[in-house]
Amino acid sequence: MASQVIYFVTVDNNKAQAEITFGTVIQDLYNSYDLIHVANCERINAVKTVLQSLVTPPQLLITSSDWFEEEQEEVRETTRRLYPDIHLIMVPPGLHKQIGEQKVVEYLKEQIQELRLPLRAERGAES
């Protein structure tokens, strides 16, 4: 049985930091989830265009803690208009600066696990 791939998009104005953070999350959750980071939006006004350009709709969108609550709400509204059933994780504003990179990774892993997304198929069960 093949794993169900979970495509996700991030909204993070620091692309290099996003690659590190979300790369670590993907690696740490590899045995449980088949996560694929398909795009990062470095600006709020790019979210709609990026989401509309994807061939396969993402199941998850994550905003970094670099955005104010109002900006995160704008992302939420834009995303929900396009994909009402998408899962959203909005990292609380300023959290990265307050608790650091590793704690944000832990926070994201907990949030993803709480969403009860489809688990990766057992390695031995795949054909």
At residue 6's C-alpha, the angle toward residues 48 and 17, to 5°, is 65
Query: pTM of the predicted model, to two decimals?
Result: 0.90
Whole-angstrom Cα Rg for the chain? 14
The SS3 assignment for 36 reads: strand
Measured from the Cβ of residue 121, the count of other Cβ atoms closer than 10 Å reads 14
pLDDT digits (tens, 9 = 90+) for 2-15: 668 999 999 999 99
The SS3 assignment for 84 reads: coil
Q: pLDDT tens, 33-77? A: 999 999 999 999 999 999 999 999 999 999 999 999 999 999 999
In angstroms, rounded to a whole number, what is the distance separating the alpha carbons of residues 15 and 41?
Answer: 8
- Does 121 have pLDDT greater than 60? yes
